[in-house]
Structure 1
Amino acid sequence: MTTTLNPTPPKLGLANLDWTLVGFLGVIHGAALLAPWFFSWSALGVMVALHWLFGSIGICLGYHRLLTHRSFQVPRWLEYVFATIGAMALQGGPIFWVAGHRQHHLYTEDAEKDPYAASRGFWWSHMLWLVYRNPATFNGQVYRRYAPDIARDPYYRWLDRYFLLLQVPIAIALFALGGWSFVIYGVFLRIVVLWHSTWLINSATHMWGKRRFHIEDNSGNLWWTALLTYGEGWHNNHHAYPNVAPAGWRWWEVDVTWYAILLLEKLGLARRVVRPPTEAVAQER
């Protein structure tokens, strides 16, 4: 039996849940709740630092603006470094992540074709889409069709298969440095906080925020999600011009990820950096 490219997503209900994934998410969240009993300022510092490294550099810069949208270019060895950091965030391998996000842009808010369509409600777009096994989202033979450029690369195929194992050396290193306090904060709490930070872009910014550009979807510029996600919350800008490297266009639109791309450009490591078109900047003033 063949799998169609965009099958109808599963209906909500206990019978359609992927209980293995529900259990996995529950264990990670449960371990994160142990944080008050393992608190130390150094552990909190580790959590914040890794949230930035895996979130801004790995997910926002690596998975999103580099691999998904190709809004700038870097040497292949550096691209692999960024992709590996992204895989350490525990948000899926690069083929899975890129394919899902490209589907989101192709079919934004379409209840059947957008994996995390906000038209199905806040909680669906925030996290329920993860626990209902839609083949178009989770079947590798299906989703890799949306990221053939990534799927052709043997290293990205390896990351897509084994990204979960990357948490093991992270946990071992953190335990050696600071014991269970560092593990709870640097692995479990960091994963949960970064998950929900990222998921807010799928959910909150498609329901609230200012709409600088009146495009067909409901994406908005939401300042507080931009602060939590290193610039991704300027989501209306991004959906209007998805292949542009900066998400924040004004000096007051804080975009930490864009600052990192600018630094790479100044160091000669990033080239062909796509900036907002002049006419679009002039039009929106």
Structure 2
Amino acid sequence: MYILIFFLAHWFLSLFFQTFYLHRYASHKMFTTSKFTERTFHLMTFIFQGSSFLNPRAYAIMHREHHAYSDTAKDPHSPYFFTDVFQMMWNTVQSFRLYEKRLKEPDAEFKGNYPEWHLVDYYGSTMISRIIFGCLYITFYIVFATHWWMFLLLPIHFMMGPIHGAIVNWCGHKYGYANFDNNDKSKNTTPFDFLMLGELFQNNHHKRPNNANFAARWFEFDPVFPVMKLMHWVRIIKLRPATLNS
């Protein structure tokens, strides 16, 4: 029971901060907040992503490139230019590291207006940080696992962030239905979008990239949007006015 709770908590907390902070804030600036609150979200992203912490600057740059070049040869992770999801993941990791380590500069249109915290971004991306988090996960499993098969979940903990990204980028552009013609192959992968906290409403999102509500039709539900509206009402964040009545 403890292992299941830990796995689900890690899955959804890591995913929440990926979609809420890295995607909707760092990449799209769907809301504003104070510098203190931004730093709090930044630190929580590092803690909950743990061994698979994704640098917000690198994430934002690549995501903006993805929108600009969706499903073309310049898209950094379109499934239509790779034979399988593993090749797509590897190419994404290689491109991500170039921006993470500042070995490559983005085009001007993709640069700036993303959160940076050099101390956390640097140490969160080091191998020692990833190993420490990995050891913590392993220790928890040693203490609480009751069956050998539970240890098979550990690789998912180690690679949680990239796994979430691979599911969204592969499934969200190959499987499902489209509400809008976006001149790309983006899809809405219902009902699995709920397990991905709305991230699999890719077709809706590519149509309205700056709308905080990824759902568009009556039967679609983005579970992160009500959380964002609550944060807005209690003045933790300030949503863009266009998203409040969505």
Q: Sort the TM-score into its range (normalised by shorter chain).
A: 0.7 to 0.9
Per-residue deviation, residues 214-268 of structure 1 (Å, max 9, x unmatched): 1111101111331221011111110001111111134531212112212211211
1:226 corresponding residue in structure 2: 193
72 and 142 in structure 1: CA distance in 2 versus 1, 3 angstrom threshold? same
RMSD: 3.2
- Alignment-derived partner of residue 238 in structure 2: 271
Asked if the contact 2:171/2:200 (under 8 Å) is kept, the reply is no
Q: Rate the CA distance shift 1:93–1:210 in 2: closer, same or farther, 3 A.
A: same
> Could you say which residue in structure 1 is the equivalent of 2:214?
247
What's the CA shift for 1:128? 1.8
- 1:21-60 mapped onto 2 (5 Å cutoff): 41-56=1-16, 58-60=17-19
Structure-2 residue corresponding to 1:23: none
Identical columns (%) = 19
1:102 CA displacement: 1.0
Deviation, 1:196, is 2.9
Assess if the C-alpha contact under 8 Å between 1:69 and 1:243 holds in 2: yes
Q: Does the CA contact (< 8 Å) of 1:43 and 1:186 recur in 2?
A: no
1:73 aligns with 2:32: yes
1:209: which partner in 2? Answer: 176
CA shift at 1:86, angstroms?
2.9
Q: Scaled by the length of structure 2, what TM-score is found? A: 0.79
Q: CA, structure 1 residues 250+180, in 2 after alignment: closer, same or farther (shift >3 Å)?
A: same
Report the counterpart of residue 165 of structure 2 in structure 1: 198
Amino acid at match of 1:206: H
Alpha-carbon spacing, 1:78–1:120, altered in 2? closer, same or farther (3 Å): same
CA contact (8 A) 1:94 1:150 kept: yes
Higher percent of residues as helix:
1
Q: CA deviation at 1:188?
A: 3.9
How many residues get paired?
232
Which segment drifts farther, 167-176 or 65-74? Answer: 167-176
Instruction: Give yes or no for contact 2:201–2:214 (8 Å, CA) kept in 1.
Output: yes
Q: Point out where structure 1 has 5 or more consecutive residues left out of the alignment.
A: 1-40
Shift of 1:46: 1.0
Instruction: Tell me the equivalent position of 1:100.
Output: 62
Partner Cα distance (1:135, 1:193) in 2: 17
Give the unaligned 5+ runs of structure 2.
none
1:98-152 deviations in Å (ceiling 9; x for gaps)? 11111111111122x21112220462xx34234348975432242555343337x
TM-score (norm 1): 0.69
In 2, Cα distance between the equivalents of 1:184 and 1:94?
30
What letter corresponds to residue 65 of structure 1 in structure 2?
R
1:190 is displaced (CA, Å) by 3.1
8 Å CA contact retained: 1:122, 1:203: no
Q: 1:180-199 residue pairs with structure 2 within 5 A?
A: 181=145, 188-192=155-159, 195-199=162-166
Larger deviation, residues 92-101 vs 61-70: 92-101
